[in-house]
Amino acid sequence: MLNLAAFNHQSKAMQEQPIYIIGAGAVGKTLAVFLTLAGRQVYLLRGSVFNAPVTYEEMTILAADNNKYVAKLEIGCLADFTRLGGLVVLANKAFGNQALSVSLRGKLNGNPLLVLQNGLNIEKAFLKQNFEHIYRCVLMLTCQFEDPHTIRYKPVRECPVGIIRGDEETLTRLLHKIQTLQFRFSKCDEIQSLIWKKVIANCVFNSICPLLHIDNGIFYRNEVARDMAKELIVSCMTLAHAKGIAITPEDVFNNVMQISQMSDGQYISTLQDILHHRPTEMDALNIELARLADEIGIGATMKEIALLGRLTKLKAAINLKNM
Q: How many CB atoms lie within 10 A of CB 72?
A: 10
Residue 9: per-residue pLDDT: 42
* pLDDT beyond 90 at 266: yes
Instruction: State the average pLDDT over residues 292-310.
Output: 97
Average pLDDT, the chain: 94
pLDDT at 14 over 80: no
Per residue in 124-134, pLDDT (tens digit) is 999 999 999 99
> Which amino acid type is present at position 33?
V
Q: What is the pLDDT of residues 214-223, one digit of tens each?
A: 999 999 999 9
pLDDT of residue 6: 46
Residue 24 has pLDDT above 60, yes or no: yes
CA distance 79 to 52: 9
Helix (H) or strand (E) holding 280: none
Q: What is the pLDDT of residues 241-262, one digit of tens each?
A: 999 999 999 999 999 999 999 9
Q: Residues 126-151, buried b or exposed e (16+ Cβ, 10 A)?
A: beebebebbbbbbbbbbbbbeeeeeb
Indicate if the pLDDT at residue 12 is higher than 70.
no
DSSP labels for 84-102? Answer: --SEEEE-S-GGGHHHHHH
| pLDDT tens digits for range 158-211 | 999 999 999 999 999 999 999 999 999 999 999 999 999 999 999 999 999 999
**Domain architecture of the chain: domains with CATH:** 4-189 (3.40.50.720), 193-321 (1.10.1040.10)
What confidence score (pLDDT) does residue 51 get?
72
- pLDDT score for 48: 75
Look at residue 251 in the predicted model and tell me its pLDDT. Answer: 95
Per-residue pLDDT for 2 more than 90?
no
- Please tell me the predicted confidence (pLDDT) of residue 289: 98
